[in-house]
Structure 1
Amino acid sequence: MRSCAKAGTVKRVVLTSSASSVTRRPDLQGDGHVLDEESWSDVEHLRAEKPPTWGYCVSKVLVEKAASRFAQERGISLVTLCPVVTVGAAPARRTRTSVPNCLSLLSGDEAEFAVLAAIEKSCSTMPLVHLDDVCRAELFVAEEPAAAGKYLCCSLNTTILELARFLAHKYPQYGVKTGLLSGELLEKPRVRLSSAKLVREGFEYKYKTLDGMYDDMIEYGKALGILPN
């Protein structure tokens, strides 16, 4: 951003952050909460309690706020995009992203499922977005003249149990590893991450259902060796 300010020719900077800057709040008791761009993860609570991945979440909040201050001081047009759990096929032949997590109900990988369960527990939802939609949203906020501030990028709020039922119906040949479905799993999301600001300004998601999200991810999982051919 210093280089952008020095050059004087950059029209807009797009910062890709994470919904982790929004979701980690201790005050979300009960059901029906809706979090949007005005919500922030509680940095003081995270620093005091140090739950899993607390440092990652704190870093996202601090980076976003520092970038925003710098942009205001230097007159830079800054837009921040915060994707949720990102799924779908990618060009990479190796992945350590959320793809193995979201395929763990079919692969039976307990370590990857543990990550998935931790996401649901910390967010009180399983928020998903397809990789293609993240890329399209990046271009949208870069090119849309009126785009400003922060945008959550989430096309679907679901739960692990809803995901398991969908996978069992759609891909019975793999067999959902129901033995993994223990512990405090949610029947329905208690929190919903809202992408209304992005949609209101003209963006349209291509992938809004589990069907669309998983069709190419199953083939991707085969190519990566996560799932059998």
Structure 2
Amino acid sequence: MRPAAVYMRPELQGDGHVLDEDSWSDVAYLRAEKPPTWGYAVSKVLVEKAASRFAQEHGISLVTICPVITVGAAPSMNTNTSVPNCLSLLSGHEVWLTVLKVIERTSGSVPLCHVDDLCRAELFVAEEAAAAGRYNCNALSTTVVELASFLAHKYPEYDVKRNLLQADDQLVERPRACLSSAKLAREGFVFKHNTLDEIYDNVVEYGKALGILPN
């Protein structure tokens, strides 16, 4: 599943929101207002709820993971959308940067998880006898502005735009919401990559190998 099934709701205004596994995107609101990516979010809610109903009706134990923007190198050389998104501030690709901004606008933050931790979380809930229901998998909630500052400092060889607040008044300095992974933590899971430095440990070299970033 994806976090789009969690955070797209009309009441997600202001600051301090903590979204746990009981949070669902509002299908009626999405169909009526049609905000960016509304169809994607609706499909994720309907699929997850249908799968849960089917599992309950047939006595099947179903566990779902809701991962966020997944960062890090993978064996595949066919990129998915998360990698260009998280490298857009370095590549200067405006379309992918716009996607990152839309995620922040609709979710209240830029939620990130390293691909290794996502794989470990999937194995964890598959092997944990007590695992049940939904699990959010989010190591860190940041913003486009914070991310730009971090990347400009870590990779000074790239021309990272840093005056983003002046250029886009819909951006925020600090996350307005957090997609909580407290349920995973309570059951014993520990993220190995929980800082921006750790999450971005090898994704730049991966981006170069994919041709997203210049060598």
Q: TM-score, normalised by structure 1?
A: 0.90
Take 1:180 and 1:32, find their aligned partners in 2: how far apart are those partners? 22
Quick check: 1:197 aligned with 2:183? Answer: yes
Take 1:22 and 1:127, find their aligned partners in 2: how far apart are those partners? 12
Is the Cα contact below 8 Å between 1:21 and 1:58 reproduced in 2?
yes
Quick check: 1:142 aligned with 2:126? Answer: yes
Take 1:180 and 1:28, find their aligned partners in 2: how far apart are those partners? 22
Please show how residues 1-229 of structure 1 align to structure 2 within 5 Å. Answer: 17-178=1-162, 182-183=167-168, 184-229=170-215
Deviations 1:87-144 (A, max 9, x none): 1111121213211111111111111111111111111100001111111111111000
Q: Which structure 2 segments of 5+ residues have no match?
A: none
Q: Please tell me the residue identity of whatever aligns with 1:138.
A: E
Take 1:20 and 1:29, find their aligned partners in 2: how far apart are those partners? 16
Take 1:94 and 1:180, find their aligned partners in 2: how far apart are those partners? 30
Q: Please tell me the residue identity of whatever aligns with 2:77.
A: R
SS of 2:202's partner is: helix
Take 1:186 and 1:91, find their aligned partners in 2: how far apart are those partners? 34
Q: TM-score, normalised by structure 2?
A: 0.96
Is the Cα contact below 8 Å between 1:133 and 1:206 reproduced in 2?
yes
SS of 2:113's partner is: strand
SS of 1:81's partner is: strand
1:178 is displaced (CA, Å) by 3.7
1:180 is displaced (CA, Å) by 6.0
Q: Which structure 1 segments of 5+ residues have no match?
A: 1-16
Deviations 1:51-84 (A, max 9, x none): 1211110111111111111111111010011001
Identity %: 69
Take 1:29 and 1:93, find their aligned partners in 2: how far apart are those partners? 39
Which has the higher mean CA deviation after the structures are superposed, 85-94 or 184-193?
A: 85-94
Is the Cα contact below 8 Å between 2:149 and 2:162 reproduced in 1?
no
